[in-house]
Amino acid sequence: MQTTFCAAVLAAALMASACSTAPGVVAPIVPAEVGEVRAGSGRLNGYLSQDELPDSLALLPPPPAQGSLALAADGEAYRALTALRDGPRGALAAKDANLRFPQAASTFSCALGVHISEQATPNLNMLLRRTLTDAGLATHKAKDKYRRTRPFVVFHAPTCTPADEAHMREDGSYPSGHSARGWAWALMLAEIAPDRGDALLQRGRAYAQSRGVCGAHWKSDIEAGRLIGSTVVARLHDKALFKVQMAAAKDEIIQARARGQVPPVADCAAEAAAMALSEKLAP
């Protein structure tokens, strides 16, 4: 299965779709109204129920087999990407690994050209928080089935997030949950801010690629994660509440631009320079 091709097709379809709203539906912006997946986790409930999540086990092929060309490509990508871990690209990868809010809210601020926060853009912030859960949960069936060993374990190497290594050793590598989340975010944001579409999709690719820079995921994990992220966003477009929140987030972006609510120029220049270091590397 050509996961990158499938993801690209889904991305194009989603960007062409209209963000329609449902009369009478109001999207909550207060976390307490949404509730957490697990009390104290900070992870809010998503828009999709467990039964509505895409089936990653049905959608994905098994991870590359021992001795295959695909596994050899995984190894080549690992060596190329982790060579950047100790520089500015590694620092960006470590930042991308953090899924906690409010820190994670700023991930796409530079690509969007708008500062994202719970206070300034509450609907956009809520959109990111809830879809983080949807995209992450959608990877679990395949993760639990294959329980693939992560590359940093195979190569006995450090990652850019040492505090996470114990957990990652127990958590399956295929597909990448971070990649699913980042690509889902990129697709949604590109739909509601099409004038920034290229920059947002490039940031989504770099966000997923950061997992390779960290040594936390194989190339094929990242590609599979992007496919799952695409299917989640496609599924979300059947949810009235999601579409309402998308429309409200689009209005917030317009208002934020009018107020000059932009991220720091120096921060965005540093991010762009770091991304350029791995731009020509797979995946």
Per the CB < 8 A criterion, the answer to whether 47 and 266 are in contact is no
Residue 237 located in a structural domain = yes
Catalytic residue among 43, 129, 205, 211: 211
pLDDT at 45 over 90: yes
Residues spanned by the domain of 245? 66-276
Mean pLDDT of the 113-141 span = 98
Digit-coded pLDDT (tens) for 163-207: 999 999 999 999 999 999 999 999 999 999 999 999 999 999 999
pLDDT of residue 13: 41
Per the CB < 8 A criterion, the answer to whether 262 and 121 are in contact is no
Residue 224 located in a structural domain = yes
Digit-coded pLDDT (tens) for 146-166: 999 999 999 999 999 999 999
Q: Is 221 a catalytic residue?
A: yes
pLDDT of residue 24: 73
Residue 15 located in a structural domain = no
Digit-coded pLDDT (tens) for 211-239: 999 999 999 999 999 999 999 999 999 99
pLDDT at 69 over 90: yes
pLDDT at 110 over 60: yes
Residue 180 located in a structural domain = yes
Beta-bridged to residue 36, according to DSSP, are: 44
Q: Using alpha carbons, select from 129, 131, 98 the residue that is nearest to residue 32.
A: 129
- What DSSP string runs through the chain? --HHHHHHHHHHHHHHS-----TT-----SHHHH-BSSTTS--B--SS-GGGS--HHHHSPPPPPTT-HHHHHHHHHHHHHHTTTTSHHHHHHHHHT---TTGGGGTTHHHHTS---TTT-HHHHHHHHHHHHHHHHTTHHHHHHH-PPPHHHHTT---S-GGGHHHHHHS--SS-HHHHHHHHHHHHHHHH-GGGHHHHHHHHHHHHHHHHHTTSS-HHHHHHHHHHHHHHHHHHTT-HHHHHHHHHHHHHHHHHHHTT----HHHHHHHHHHHHTTTTS--
Residue 44 located in a structural domain = no
Share of the chain above pLDDT 90, in %: 91
Catalytic residue among 129, 178, 196, 203: 178
Which range has the worst mean pLDDT, 12-26, 104-118, 172-186, 247-261? 12-26
Assign residue 126 the CATH number of its domain.
1.20.144.10
pLDDT of residue 22: 54
Q: Is 178 a catalytic residue?
A: yes
Residue 235 located in a structural domain = yes
Residue 199 located in a structural domain = yes
Digit-coded pLDDT (tens) for 76-105: 999 999 999 999 999 999 999 999 999 999
Residue 160 located in a structural domain = yes
Report pTM: 0.92
Number of domains in the chain: 1
Catalytic residue among 74, 96, 134, 221: 221
Instruction: Place 3 in a pLDDT band, splitting at 50, 70 and 90.
Output: very low
Contacts of 71 (CB under 8 A, 6+ apart): 64, 65
